[in-house]
Amino acid sequence: MRVGFAGTPEFAARALAALHESGHTIPLVLTQPDRPSGRGMIPTASAVKRYAQAHGLPLAQPPGLREAGINARLRGVDLDVLVVAAYGLILPQAVLDWPRHGCLNIHASLLPRWRGAAPIARAIEAGDRETGITIMQMDAGLDTGPIVTAERLPVGPRETAGGLHDRLAELGARLVVDTIARLVRDGVLTSRPQPTDGVTYADKIERADRAVDWESSAEAIDRKVRALFPAPGALAGWQGAQVRLVAAEAVDKTSGARETAPGEVAAVSAAGIDVGCGHGTVLRVTTVQPASGRTMPAAAFAAGRGVAPGGRFTSPPGGSLAPEPGPAGPGRSGLVNRP
């Protein structure tokens, strides 16, 4: 089977590797152009590009797919099917019509829940107890095509976006290999329309989504922190400076403890910084990353920055944080924002 592939981050690279290792001919790999990354803003190859180059697979990095000349060159490549995973570019109808059996998308949710750019982060943020992978026959809509197959995956009670991303990437790789094997065997893939009920949208993570609202419950803030780990990270403010909350958890209020306003420090200990939240709840911040600094235990941050009961965490001020720890891909926020 001649299987083309379009994808960009690590989530997609795992599917590409699985298809390649399964013995399929891969006449073309599409990935996004190199993007500036890191402190030096050096152009960096995507995970899919690195895999393709390491294994001698034909590679193209068009900046878009709507230009007639690009479409003509693509359609000159003979494909049975095109597998798409977190590619990050819209496929015009000419590309959707290109392969004999159309285009299959590996989407990191149980469609129609969490259509869109950041399904992993949004599932954790919403407190979903399960998610999964959907293999979808692509159409012109936003993740609206018919479902070829889907498999559920439980979301752990302390799951982070990074951990869930890795489990979903492995599931997606296995499921697409099984799907292509079925296409080889049967010569056709059956599908079913997506349900009309239960549609939700996983909007791209913007900077405003990263801000911690201390009026929210500790459980909601805990989910936000886990949904945005390892990147791009939940943001708060301390004494006018930005601080990234790396790890935190909701805790029971200590018996007899005084009432604290949202954002007010209730206690500091070796275990972390306890902060009052909405609805009378308490969040224990255990790991942080100050602006332009390294990740550290919250207790060390408290000792160095004078964090004490009665002090107040706020919303994050303007400005930029130190570079994130590795590329997003999400969704890790850019599949991570886009599987």
**What whole-number distance in Å separates Cα of residue 296 and Cα of residue 313?**
17
Mean pLDDT of 242-263: 88
Is the pLDDT reported for residue 97 higher than 80?
yes
> What are the structural domains, with CATH classification, of the chain?
3-201 (3.40.50.170), 234-314 (3.10.25.10)
Is the pLDDT reported for residue 335 higher than 60?
no
Express each pLDDT in 296-321 by its tens digit: 999 999 999 999 999 999 999 864 44
Residue recorded with tokens 């007899």 = 256
Predicted local distance difference test score (pLDDT) of residue 182: 97
Q: Is the dihedral of CA 112, 117, 119, 123 positive or negative?
A: negative
DSSP string spanning 272-296? Answer: EEEEE-GGG-EEEEEEEEETTS--E
**What whole-number distance in Å separates Cα of residue 3 and Cα of residue 5?**
7
Mean pLDDT of 158-172: 98
Query: Helix 47-54 and helix 10-21: axis angle, to 10°?
Result: 30
Mean pLDDT of 171-200: 97
- pTM for this entry: 0.91
Predicted local distance difference test score (pLDDT) of residue 339: 60
Distance in Å from the first CA to the final CA of the chain: 24
Q: Is the dihedral of CA 100, 102, 106, 109 positive or negative?
A: negative
> If pLDDT is split at 50, 70 and 90, which confidence band does 75 have?
confident
For a pLDDT cut of 70, what percent of the chain falls above it? 93
Burial (Cβ within 10 Å: 0-12, 13-18, ≥19) of residue 314: middle
Is the pLDDT reported for residue 111 higher than 90?
yes
Q: Write the DSSP symbol of residue 133.
A: E
The three-class DSSP label of residue 226 is helix
**What whole-number distance in Å separates Cα of residue 250 and Cα of residue 273?**
11
Using alpha carbons, select from 123, 215, 205, 116 the residue that is nearest to residue 160: 123
**What whole-number distance in Å separates Cα of residue 325 and Cα of residue 232?**
8
Is the pLDDT reported for residue 255 higher than 70?
no
Express each pLDDT in 4-59 by its tens digit: 999 999 999 999 999 999 999 999 999 999 999 877 889 999 999 999 999 999 99
Predicted local distance difference test score (pLDDT) of residue 239: 95
Mean pLDDT of the chain: 92
H or E stretch covering 209: helix 207-210
Mean pLDDT of 94-118: 97
Cis preceding linkage at 36, omega within 30: no
> If pLDDT is split at 50, 70 and 90, which confidence band does 253 have?
confident
Is the pLDDT reported for residue 137 higher than 50?
yes
Output the six-digit token pair for 232: 């791009």
Express each pLDDT in 273-302 by its tens digit: 999 999 999 999 999 999 889 999 999 999
Residue recorded with tokens 């402190």 = 39
Number of residues that make up the chain: 339
Is the pLDDT reported for residue 185 higher than 90?
yes
DSSP string spanning 15-69? Answer: HHHHHHHTT-B---EE-PPPEEETTTTEEE--HHHHHHHHTT--EE--S-S-SHH
The three-class DSSP label of residue 135 is strand
**What whole-number distance in Å separates Cα of residue 7 and Cα of residue 282?**
41
Express each pLDDT in 196-245 by its tens digit: 999 999 999 999 999 999 999 999 999 999 999 999 999 999 999 999 99
